[in-house]
Amino acid sequence: MNLFKGNLLATVGFIIISIILFVAIFAPLLSPYDPNYIDINSILLPPSFDHLMGTDGLGRDVLSRMLYGARISLFVGFVAVGIATLIGIFLGSIAGFYGGWLDSIIMRLVDIMLSIPSFFLILAVIAFLTPSIWNIMIVIGLTSWMGVTRLVRAEFLSLRQRDYVLASIVMGTSNTKVITKHLLPNSLTPIIVSSVLGIASAVLIESGLSFLGLGVQAPTASWGNILTDGKEYIQFAWWLSLFPGLAILVTVLGYNLLGEGLRDVLDPKNK
């Protein structure tokens, strides 16, 4: 918490994300019911002491499904961003360090990828695959690396002209060691910030795909498919749309606030 001292919004973001991570990790202990248990005597019950967030069209407890849905949404976010970050670091390092024709090819590939709306690209790819959590994570990761690539390339272009880097090269240090020992560690700030913000985008994309029926499949609970169930009863079962919608909103807001806070704290220009 001392890391964000004086930055109220970043502190709020950190608290939000900490709570959501706690809920996701301990969902089996916090969940009052089995998230997939169907009770035909409890169909579409409004929020009450027995079911704090009501029940859905199959009588399943919405709170329990929300808790387990947090696990799915965050897991997809972390893994997808991890894949995108690794690809971005690899390509950005090559483009920024070696330059020349390698830089040109990589950056033209980035331009091509950025010219295609990412969500529609993901929809097109998912349409040819079997909807599953693993396919979603891989596809999101493989279509979200462009921003990290640009950031790493820009950092490398700036850092490779520094005296300590030039001295290391003159002394015969291998290119791999120069990249991993000198350049990459000094490029971590934008990478960390981009990754945190990327988790928010991945959560949104996963929720959108699940809402369209192309993401996490039933009976596995995710915030997106809880929203899908709610659209059929939106006129009289408001809780099925309100609670997952708020969860997505608060999660994305928390990661955005945390990312902005990390940018302010880790940027040496602000010190």
Residues 190-205 pLDDT 10s: 888 889 989 988 888 8
Residue 3: the pLDDT is 59
Q: What is the mean pLDDT of residues 150-176?
A: 83
Distance CA 221, CA 229 (A): 11
The enclosing domain of 19 has a CATH number of 1.10.3720.10
pLDDT digits (tens, 9 = 90+) for 46-99: 999 999 999 998 899 999 999 999 988 888 889 999 999 999 999 999 998 888
Name the 3-class secondary structure at 61: strand
pLDDT at residue 171 tops 60: yes
Work out the pLDDT band at 249, boundaries 50, 70, 90.
very high
Name the 3-class secondary structure at 33: coil
Q: Total structural domains in the chain?
A: 1
* Residue 247 counted as domain residue: yes
Q: Are 265 and 3 in contact (CB under 8 A)?
A: yes
Work out the pLDDT band at 230, boundaries 50, 70, 90.
confident
* Residue 38 counted as domain residue: no
* Residue 48 counted as domain residue: no
Residue 26: the pLDDT is 93
- What's the domain range around 264? 9-25+59-270
Q: What is the mean pLDDT of residues 242-271?
A: 82
pLDDT at residue 4 tops 90: no
Mean pLDDT of the chain: 86
Q: How far is CA 70 from CA 112, 222, 239, in A?
A: 33, 7, 17
Strand partners, 46: none
Q: How far is CA 193 from CA 152, 185, 201, in A?
A: 12, 14, 13
Q: What is the mean pLDDT of residues 172-187?
A: 82
* Residue 152 counted as domain residue: yes
- Please enumerate in sequence order all residues whose Cβ is within 8 A of that of 10, keeping only pairs 6 or more positions apart, or say none: 4, 257, 258, 260, 261, 262, 264, 265
* Residue 49 counted as domain residue: no
* Residue 134 counted as domain residue: yes
* Residue 92 counted as domain residue: yes
pLDDT at residue 271 tops 60: no
- φ, ψ of residue 55 to 5 degrees: the values are -130, 165
Q: Work out the end-to-end distance of the chain between its first and last CA atoms, rounded to an integer number of angstroms.
A: 18
Residue 105: the pLDDT is 94
* Residue 251 counted as domain residue: yes
